[in-house]
Amino acid sequence: MSTIRLDHVSRWYRNVVAVNDVSMTLGPGVTGLLGPNGAGKSTLIAMMSGFLAPSAGTVTLDGDPLWRNQEIYRKVGLVPEREALFDYLTGLRFVLVNAELQGLPDPGAAAQRAIAMVEMADAQDRAIATYSKGMRQRIKMAASLVHDPSVLLLDEPFNGMDPRQRMHLMQLLRTMGAEGRTVLFSSHILEEVEQVARQVEVMVAGRHAASGDFGAIRRLMTDRPNRFVLRSADDRKLAGVLLTDPSVRGVRLRAEGGIELEASDFGRFSEVLPRLARDHGVRLLEVSPTDESLESVFSYLVAR
């Protein structure tokens, strides 16, 4: 059982702040590090991996500093985002190299065990250069698991995977978490995090925007005001009807046609809209959200 602790951690590159005063504690189980691209997730993981010094604050693993401390790698397994591997090696040799560098007593057995765990035994004798993206990800996982680490850090592990590979990796991460390992993975996709992680840490623009179990984060995100553009057979009539419902905060008729609408309760609004339209005989032609981008969801969280 291992715990990574970040205490008022900042990291800046000259005058650009990548991570701004982040404090969090990561314990056993799967934690998702969620945030849009450029939010500082990779910088945070680099600091947790001992690959980057914090400009301010401390990052520790079970009380020991991670920076300039190669002993931590006996406990930490790392799956970097970058694709580069030793392409000229076979999958087996690559995992074996990692086992040897870890100084394991029986590198061969450890390599075979790790390869079996990621179900890559059939392809282990092929050169990595011939692997698909998903296979590369799995052999990277095997290499990071070869010394049975108590901490597993994965930077955007689902990038470029097909749905089947994604499912398989999700299952693997759940198993790792259930075994009591401290697993952290980063992602910019809400649904990925939701399916694997119990605990979610949200990063936006270098700041730690939210933290909690997935239900709490999900509620924070869906409770925010949502904006839509509607087009219907009778915009004026529909606007009047919708304004009578408490889930709607405001409507505006657009000069070019259609209605701009702000809903304060997304769940209720999505039920009420089709019913009211039908009851009042107004045909709905189009309903489109105007700010559904992840960035707007995240910036709402930051503004709270």
Q: Does 160 bind another protein (CB under 8 A)?
A: no
Least distance between another protein and beta carbon 260 (Å): 35
Q: Beta-carbon neighbour count of residue 86 at 10 Å? A: 13
Encoded tokens for 285? 């032609």
Judged by CB under 8 A, the stretch of 68-76, 164-172, 177-185, 288-296 that binds another protein is 68-76
Judged by CB under 8 A, the stretch of 65-73, 214-222, 228-236, 274-282 that binds another protein is 65-73
Q: Does 68 bind another protein (CB under 8 A)?
A: yes
Least distance between another protein and beta carbon 200 (Å): 19
Binding mask 97-136 for another protein (x = CB under 8 A): xx-xxxx---x-----------------------------
Q: Do 158 and 175 meet the contact criterion of CB atoms below 8 Å apart?
A: no
Rounded to the nearest 10 degrees, what angle do helices 107-117 and 133-145 cross at?
140
Least distance between another protein and beta carbon 174 (Å): 24
Residue placing its CB nearer to another protein in the complex, 206 or 258: 206
Among 22, 48, 61, 76, the residue binding another protein under the rule CB under 8 A is 76
Binding mask 179-198 for another protein (x = CB under 8 A): --------------------
Encoded tokens for 74? 């006996």
Q: Do 52 and 43 meet the contact criterion of CB atoms below 8 Å apart?
A: yes
Phi/psi-derived region of residue 237, left when phi > 0, alpha when psi is between -120 and 50, beta in every other case: alpha
Binding mask 250-269 for another protein (x = CB under 8 A): --------------------
Q: How many residues interact with another protein (rule CB under 8 A)?
A: 40
Among 7, 55, 85, 135, the residue binding another protein under the rule CB under 8 A is 85
Least distance between another protein and beta carbon 54 (Å): 11
Q: Beta-carbon neighbour count of residue 69 at 10 Å? A: 12
Which residues in this chain contact another protein in the complex, by CB under 8 A?
18, 37-38, 40-43, 45-46, 49-53, 68, 70-74, 76, 78, 80-82, 84-86, 88-89, 97-98, 100-103, 107, 143, 155-156
